Chains A and B, each alone.
Chain A
Amino acid sequence: MDFESYWAAVDDELAVVPARAVLESVAERSTAESVSYTVRLTSSGPYRVFGHLSIPSGPGPFPALLMTPRYGSVNHVPHPNDRSRYVVFGVMHRGQRLADESFAAAYPGLLTLGIDEPASYIYRGIVADCLRAAEFLFGLAEVDPARVAVSGDDLALLTAARRPGFGAVRLSELLFYRAMEARLRSSLYPLEELNDHLRAGAVEEQVLKTLSFFDPVRHASAVSAPTLVAADDADWFAPLIEALPASEVYQVTHLDGTDNDALDAWLADRFGVPPMSRFVRP
């Protein structure tokens, strides 16, 4: 199966599965600034996934922010700073907490689950979950469709590549990018999962083949939105940066207060909302 048909099949599967969204308000999380909801959606499979949604108070439409899930069992509820400025949707993919009724992801283990065959790789469904989340967000009446951003790791990039319309993409801490090279740099997880899998007898060519469908560089040319790549080693990320049609690089300082503020300000500036630091400065 080639690259395009692999992903077209994912789109086809989603197209025939209604999302059947159910929203429930969360009183304790709702304030004068925003109203919060839990959301359950059907993704491919079919599989019910979960998300935290919030909508700012006041007359819309509002800029919007899709937060793709990190690698791990838990994603925090979107920060009040973001909830006050954007329609925010933070999605939990299949297997993560709150989306684990029929499948609980293992850590370590998720990164290599089904990786020996592209069609069975768990991330095929996880990307579908993110695409479904994007469709849901774009469908909300409160959202200004000209100001929708996606933020996260490779999943954010793949989502922007597969769903047109995003006005900004913010990338950090990529997982799949040059993963088969990066796995050799240390014994730290999650990339150590690849080493564990290969030690257990997996065929490297098969793993490489599967990962090639998720290679951010292969998806990059389809991302038309301005894209900020947070990178601590510009040389390492050069192939991706060159492949993105409208990329900017934020040089990560590892002063994470500074980095957090800079990433926040980049998106705020694009969408005409005030920048906000999570570190409260009276």
Chain B
Amino acid sequence: MRDPENAVVEVELPADFDEFWAAGLAECATYPLDPVLTELPALSTDKVIVYDLRYTSYGGLRIAGWYTVPRGLPAPYPALVTIPGYISEPTVPKEWSELGYAALAVAPRGKLRSNDVFNPGYPGLLTHNIVDHHTYGYRGFYLDVVRAVDVLLDRPEVDAERIGLQGSSQGGGLGLSTAALRPDVIACVAAGAPYLCGIMTAPTLTRSYPYEEINEYLRAHPKDADRVRETVAYYDGLNFAPRVQAPTLLYLGLEDDVCPPETGFAVHRALRCEKQLHTFPHCAHHAGLPDVMRIVEDFLADHLKPGR
């Protein structure tokens, strides 16, 4: 029998982990953010105004997003960055603006609306340049989410003291990395079934995709195992978790075949911030959906206070 709560999941912390990410953030800062918002009346409703968003991120790539704000409510608004899953495209986050948030659904590089330059495909993203942490495909992807936070900070209708992160799976994993990289800004994180945590352990616990991509890669390139391990350590949620300062909600399915619960418990142990953990027996990667969304909404409302 598996014992997810007590399983040992370890990731080596690269000696230059903080310097590596500081360099990435510094390079991002050399590019003007240059956000462009275009109102989309056809997608807007009587409750929500919808915008197409474009901004510049790491490497000078233009990144897309959907940005929504409540119609008819007084600003400033609390804000959310919603982060997509591995195979998902970001949807227009009207439902969050109906609750009173300015919401930015980011499409990091490689997603359909941000793939003019970088398009590793699916399968593909997880192992793109996985032997080199400097050029690993996820480097820019992670930083694109951080830059989405900068977009919110640039918006006059957003209260900079009330910016949160929300996502599940890849969205959960990148919620943790983004909170760690912007501890001065992020007010709270809701992370479901976090992916990209215990990256080298997870493929030994499951045969499900996307982690199966790593098994396939190592089947084809068995001599690269050490280099892969070295690379992904820079991207592992277990190394970001101790750097998260914002209150964090984690929720896990105890039969999650996509992101094994062992890795979720390990993240929870590694978090040193104020934290909540909700676990759902007999649940897989949905991790308690749809009911868990009530917990998520309450957690975000407690910290971000929409309608205040």
Stretch of B17-25, B53-61, B181-189, B215-223 on the interface side: B215-223
Question: Contact string, A66-110, partner B, CB cutoff 8 A, digits 1/0?
Answer: 000000111111011100000000000000011000001011100
- A238-282 interface with B by 8 A CB criterion: 253-258, 260, 277-282
Which residues of B (146-170) have their CB < 8 Å from a CB of A? none
A189 to B91, CA, bound (A): 7
Contact residues in A for B121 (Cβ distance below 8 Å):
97-98
A186 to B290, CA, bound (A): 14
Give the A interface residue count (CB, 8 A): 42
Within 8 A of B (CB), among A99-125: 104, 106-108
Stretch at the interface among B201-209, B227-235, B236-244: B201-209
Contact of B133 with A by CB under 8 A: no
Task: Tally the A-B contacts, defined by beta carbons under 8 Å.
Answer: 108
A106–B40 Cα distance when bound, in Å, is 15
A230 to chain B minimum Cβ distance, whole angstroms, is 13
CB distance from A149 to the nearest CB of B (A): 20
Stretch at the interface among A1-9, A126-134, A192-200: A192-200
Asked if A80 contacts B98 (CB within 8 A), the reply is: no
Choice from B2, B87, B255, B256 contacting A72 with Cβ under 8 Å: B87
Asked whether A29 and B286 contact (CB < 8 A) given A79-B209, A98-B121, the answer is no
B95 touches A282 (CB 8 A): no
Residue numbers in B under 8 Å from A106 (CB-CB): 112
Given A98-B121, A196-B42, A282 contacting B1 (CB threshold 8 A) = yes
Q: Tell me the nearest residue of chain A to B219, going by C-beta.
A: A28
B216: which of A29, A79, A255, A256 is its contact (CB, 8 Å)? Answer: A29
The smallest beta-carbon distance between B141 and chain A, in angstroms, is 15
5 chain-A/chain-B pairs, Cβ below 8 angstroms: A31-B219, A72-B89, A255-B281, A279-B255, A280-B206
Which A residues are closer than 8 A to B by beta carbons? Answer: 27-29, 31, 72-77, 79-81, 97-98, 104, 106-108, 186-190, 192, 195-196, 199-200, 253-258, 260, 277-282
